[in-house]
Structures are given as C-alpha cells and as structure tokens.
Structure 1
C-alpha cells in the first residue's frame, strides 16, 4: 500500500494522511460525460496494473439503449484500462476513505481507444503540439440548484433558500442570492479543497438558483478532468442539502440556460509567448485566424456542444445565450467574445457550448475549430460592435441538423477522428429517435382538442 500512496498527487496524499485507504473507484467518461467503471478494495487496486471494460459503454445512449454500427457485429470486446495516477482525487462525500482515479483507455493491441472522449481531446492537443503550439483553456461552469424532483412529469422548481422562500430569478451577481444556499456552496468549497481542485470564483447567475463557477486556465485535458470531477462532486454536495444540482442546458421554463463558456489561447512552445499577441502587444494574424476558423467550423461541431434535444431550448433570443457566430471585443451578445485583458492574456471566449456537453468533447470540438482556422489561415468577418442577439443564428437549431453537418465535415472528422464521429453520430441519432416517441404536455394541451 505504501507504493500506491507514493504514486498519488500531493492533495490525495494529504487527504489520506494518518488514515487507511479503503476503496478506489476506477472511472472513465462515457460519451455523455457520465462516470463509468468499477469500485474495488484498495488492496486489490494496488496489486493490479490494469483492468477491463467492454467498448459498449461508448455505444450507450443517455436512456440506456445501445446503438448499432452498420456492418459491425455487437460483440462487446474488452478495452484495457490503466490508471492515470496524476488524476487521483478524494471522494470526500463517501462514508469511508475513497479515491477516484481516471484511467487511460487502450485497445487490446495497445492503441489509444479512438472513441473514448478523453482520447479525442488528447488527439486534438497532440495536433497542436505537433505544430509547436500549446493550447490553453479556461472553462466557466453554469448550473442550477433545484428542488428535489422525483416525478419527471412535474416541472422543475427552484430550491428553497434559508429564508424559507424559493430562490429568486434575475439576481445576477447578488451576494445575498448566493447566501440563500450558502451551505451547498460551503460543501463545494470543502470538497474541492479535499480533492485538490482550484476554484477561481463562484457567483450568482441570472436564473433562479443558477450559479456560475470559474476555473483557472491551464492544460485542456487537466481542465476537462476537473470539470468531469466537479460535476459529480457538485451533485453530491447538493444532495446533502435536500436539493439537486443539474447541468441541463435548459432545466426551467422561462429561465436562462446554462453554458460552458470556454476561453482559448495558444502558446508558442519555443518562445513561451501567447500566439495571439505580437511583441508590441498588437493582435496577431494567428489571433484572427483562430476566430475565423471558429466562425467557419463551429456549425459542424454544434452536435458536440449541444448534444441533446434540450440543448436547443437554450438557443432562443433574449435569454443570455448568443446563437450567432459574430465576434466582438468585450461584447457578451456575440457568440465569440474577446474579453478585456493584457496582451499576454489575450484570448477568445466561445459562448456557444452548453453545460450539458461532455467537457472532453466540448473542449476538443472548440479547439478543433480554432486549429483548422490556424492551418487554413481563415479570415474572420469584421468584429461586431452592436447588439448581436438579433443577428442570424448561423448554427443548427436541432439535433438532426447538427448531426448532418458533423458527418459531412471531413476536415473536422480528420481532427477529431473519423471512427469517433461515426460512433457519436450513431448514438445521438438513436437518442433523437427515442425522444420523438415522447408526447409532451404542450402537445396534449394545445393539440389534443384543437386540431
């Protein structure tokens, strides 16, 4: 056991100081971003180098069905999972002393499993590295705390605050609004500290019970790992206080949706300088090419940034969700925003991704668009200076249209991996078909007796 402890990051070692590790959760992210894997006694985990899971975990829809791939027999061959000890963190909400460890996934002949979301992101980062570039991201997480909802037929309600009233909407940046569910926030901070995860800040967003949490900038894979961990941890913190945390793009009717804004910059590996800033501080051609690539290619990856039918309910005018591909400086109405910053911190913020996306795939898709812009030297349109909410959407507005664009985008499939795109499209089309069998309350209310 001592050898195992020595492999762990400092935060995990500190969490276990003076304690006996009981259990290890060996986990990976499926296409939806759900943690899949096995839990085992720590003594067993320390004595084995890898374990196996079937590849069918990447063929499963959010409802539990499995997609068929044309021409391929459904045999569920095993994948080889090897622990990435750098990702080991505490699971501080459990009743015993437990660690979570994200695992690398390979085929039985040793190749990285091409349809594993974490490997898709690693593939995109490697393409940048091969060009002498290092991509840097800083994600923002938006989510809702809501009252317990045990009946899916019932509408979602805001949580009850400590005042005895339900959380109020339209209170963006209000400190008293955050204080209404302060005990949940306190647990989030405490859990994050035990896990060695850094929070840059927490604030009240515009929706009732809606919170935004900012993460510091860094390596894309590491930040995606952190979001993967954060989503699970935040749900656990909420459950301790008789409410749910949801990362649905649009959980409550007539409230804003939840985004995963992604800030991007690119560092030149040779010089260590931000590729978007010239020595005199001016914007570089690469900065504009990155934006141009996002404007050209983002429509083809909306299927990854908005993966469910609910995702497109966020893309409505006047609900703080840009649905355009305009870019502008310090303009939150544009889909692509350039925040105020010093030249060395110049970056591009993609405001289109929803919080319901898999963080590995959302970041990979966004980086892929910028990467192609850098290669193609794509010129962007003129920067937008007014209110862009009324601009043409420029992005698909439903799952079917988004998937059609993805499967037709050969350049993006080369970056993300053709096999991954094939599997992803098959799973998402099956989910969409399953949804079309559901009759909504709106249809029963307005169509049952009127048409």
Structure 2
C-alpha cells in the first residue's frame, strides 16, 4: 500500500497471474479497492491457469464442467505493486499467484511449481543463483509481411542482421532508453543489450540473483514490458521462437550456480573443470532434457528454431565454452563457475523453465549422477542423442518422463498435457500466416 500512497495519480490496478503458457490472466480494478485486494485477495476459476494459447477452456478438463468450474484464491506475491509505464494512464500492476480457498498452494500454478523446487533447495541448505538472457525481435507487423520497423531516428529499415552492431542499437536508441528507464521503475535488473543475428533482433541480459522466484518474475514481467513499450512506439516486440524462416530464432538462455548457506559456490573446486557437484548437476539436466523439451519448446513454432546449424541446440550434450552445446560451461573465474542451459526458446513460461532446469540439476546432485565426457568441436557433428524433433514427439516424451513427475506435481503435469494436446489438435487447422499472427504477441 505504501507504493500506492506514494503514487496518488494511479487510479486503476491490473491484477495478473501467469497461466501455464505464461500468458498474463487477470482483472482491472479501481485503485480505491486496493486495501481489500491486499487483505483478501481476489478469485479466478482454477481453470484459468491452464487455458490454451487462444484463451479457451481445455475440453474435458476436470477443472471445468465436471467440478463446476470452482474459484481459486489469488493472493499478491512478494513483488507488491509495480508501475505499468507502457500505458498512457498511470496504472499499477499487482502480480498474483493461486491458492485453494483454505490457503494451500494450488499445484496447477506455475509459480507455485517453482516455489516447490526452491523449497527443495532450501531444505538441502542450498541457494540457486539465476540469470536469464532474452532474445526478441522488433517487428513491423502492420502489413501482410513481417519486416523490421523503421528506425525512430533515421526512418530507415535495416534488412539484415548485425551481430553486436552499435549502429543497430543506436537506430532504436529512444526505444531502449525508454525500456531501461521502465526496467528501473519496475525493479527489473536489465544489464547488457546487444544486437543479434536476425534483422531487428536484440538480446538483453538480466542480472544474476540469489532468488529464483524473483528471477522468473523479472523474466515474465520483462517480456510483458518489452511488448508494451514496443507498441507505444508503433511496432511489435516478439519473443516468438522463430518469426522469420530464414533467420535464427529467439532463445532464453539460463545461467545458474548453487551456493551453500555461507555463500560458497558448490560448482567451484578451484579449477577450470569445476567440481563433482557441477558434473552431477549437468548430468541431471541432460537426463531430464528429452522429457523437459516440451517446457523449453512449448509451441508448434518452437521446433522451427531447434534445427541444425541455426544457433540453437539439437543434441543432448555439454561442453566447456562452446555455444553449439545444449549445456555450456562458460569461461569464468573459479568462484563464478556456473552452468548455461541453452535449449529454451524465448516463447517459454519462465516459471516452468526455471523450475525444470533447477529441479533436474538438484536431482542429479542428490543422485550423484555421473556426467558423460564433455564433447569438443561442433555439436551438430557429434553423435549425440537428439532432442525430440517435433511438437508431438515432445508431448509424448513429457508424458512418459519420470524426471518430470519428480520435479512437478502430477496435477500440473496432467493439466499441461491436456493443454498441449488440445493446441496440437487445433493448430493443424491454421495456415502459416495465422500461426505467426497467433504467436507473435501471445508468447
């Protein structure tokens, strides 16, 4: 409430929670009801947390007609009120997560799933430190064909990708200045930005932090913010995995290390190779990777990104300082030894992705799982086990994966399967143009 008292100009509030696809579901509420909202929460149907990508109910879901479509209780997260600087009217956003009316966490809520994994770390006396890197395209979607928007500075369009180009960044300097100011207002720790290989493609890194829930919150909020700010400039920003057939797609790479209670990095043994705990964590991530692919590549378009020689991994392997690997150990000082997980696309639900990676790593550590030898050279030329090659194969791998059921509550697994199977069925009715139109803004 203190934030609202400091911002009397705010007259409306948006309350929102992330559904299984990471889409914000919520309500608009007058600010004068804020105290009641903070003290009592609000209600959504449980079924809202696993709508399909069109926002439709899941057919035959037990959460809908069979149970009478009952309400869950939505309570504020630790984040509190945040500004929504991309809107014209001063507005506050209050992030929520879902509980049962008796106060039990709702197991179908993706943020609760991540909290459950974090609780496992806490019980083991460990603290994960997490950072994400997000790629996105700025796109003029006003015509029939997607293209790079004109620079607000020059009015010109750049037709090709410019890796690490200051000229490409400066062409959208006003946009990035507004975006960084908004990140500071929302307490999103945006760090370095670079131009990427696709036309109008950029990447922004979010800083490491010893709070995986906040890291996932920041990632979810950042995607919402980038899209909103872009629209205020008259173009779109998209985290869609592969909006252009001829150019690399959007990834969401996740870096993580694990600390003991007294701050020691368990991946550090003073050498470049890293500790046994690092290799156990890598092994856990590799073991869970086939079944987790549906979380890292959750949509039909996601699989257009996961193809050979397109700067996205296809093989299940790991390596030191090698960006063709699914899991890369970046060069660093021993104290900063960490794992970079490179499979996820920009179109993921960050709560489920962070939970899947951290959960798999902890399973590997608890099981003292031996890692295969790291490979050298081009991953696409290695004889590696491959990720599921299409959406249907990934759905079935997820359905039968024991590691997924170890990390996630069965209720969430079943809901997610129903959601993805329904989407798979109805996506077959869409043309390529309709598919792009669907995913461009929603993911």
The reply on whether 1:238 has 2:230 as its aligned counterpart is yes
Shift of 1:425: 0.6
Tell me what 1:134 maps to.
127
Q: Cα–Cα, structure 1 residues 241 and 71, in superposed 2: closer, same or farther, change >3 Å? A: closer
Match of 2:277 among 266, 280, 286: 286
The reply on whether 1:401 has 2:393 as its aligned counterpart is yes
The reply on whether 1:158 has 2:148 as its aligned counterpart is yes
Q: Is the 8 A contact 1:69 1:423 kept in 2?
A: no
Q: Is the 8 A contact 1:403 1:425 kept in 2?
A: yes
Tell me what 1:417 maps to.
409
Q: Is the 8 A contact 1:144 1:210 kept in 2?
A: yes
Tell me what 1:76 maps to.
69
The reply on whether 1:349 has 2:349 as its aligned counterpart is no
Deviations 1:387-442 (A, max 9, x none): 1123346210111111111111223212211110000010011001001223548x
Tell me the secondary structure at the aligned position of residue 138 of structure 1: strand
Tell me what 1:95 maps to.
88
Q: Is the 8 A contact 1:248 1:258 kept in 2?
A: yes
CA distance in 2, matches of 1:329, 1:411: 25
Tell me what 2:424 maps to.
432
Shift of 1:105: 1.3
Q: TM-score, normalised by structure 2?
A: 0.92
The reply on whether 1:147 has 2:137 as its aligned counterpart is no
Deviations 1:118-142 (A, max 9, x none): 1111111111111111111110010
Q: Is the 8 A contact 2:12 2:90 kept in 1?
A: yes
The reply on whether 1:207 has 2:203 as its aligned counterpart is no
Deviations 1:231-252 (A, max 9, x none): 1111111112211000100001
Match of 1:171 among 162, 179, 183: 162
Tell me what 2:437 maps to.
none
Tell me the secondary structure at the aligned position of residue 190 of structure 1: helix
Shift of 1:355: 0.6
Q: Is the 8 A contact 1:24 1:100 kept in 2?
A: yes
Tell me what 2:439 maps to.
none
Shift of 1:190: 1.8
Q: Is the 8 A contact 1:278 1:284 kept in 2?
A: yes
Residues 256-265 or 188-197, more deviating: 188-197
Q: Is the 8 A contact 1:172 1:206 kept in 2?
A: yes
Q: Which runs of no fewer than 5 residues in structure 1 stay unpaired?
A: 442-451
Q: Is the 8 A contact 1:157 1:252 kept in 2?
A: no
The reply on whether 1:37 has 2:30 as its aligned counterpart is no
CA distance in 2, matches of 1:123, 1:285: 25
Shift of 1:360: 0.6
Tell me the secondary structure at the aligned position of residue 261 of structure 1: strand
Q: TM-score, normalised by structure 1?
A: 0.90
Q: Is the 8 A contact 1:68 1:74 kept in 2?
A: no
Shift of 1:278: 2.5
CA distance in 1, matches of 2:309, 2:77: 43
The reply on whether 1:302 has 2:272 as its aligned counterpart is no
Mapping for residues 252-331 of structure 1, pairs under 5 Å: 252-269=244-261, 271-278=262-269, 283-331=274-322
The reply on whether 1:386 has 2:352 as its aligned counterpart is no
Shift of 1:70: 6.3
Q: Which runs of no fewer than 5 residues in structure 2 stay unpaired?
A: 434-443
Paired residues, what number? 427
Q: Is the 8 A contact 2:188 2:206 kept in 1?
A: no
Tell me the secondary structure at the aligned position of residue 309 of structure 1: coil
Shift of 1:69: 4.7
Q: Is the 8 A contact 1:85 1:101 kept in 2?
A: no
Mapping for residues 6-45 of structure 1, pairs under 5 Å: 8=3, 17=6, 19-45=8-34
CA distance in 2, matches of 1:102, 1:185: 24
Shift of 1:338: 0.6
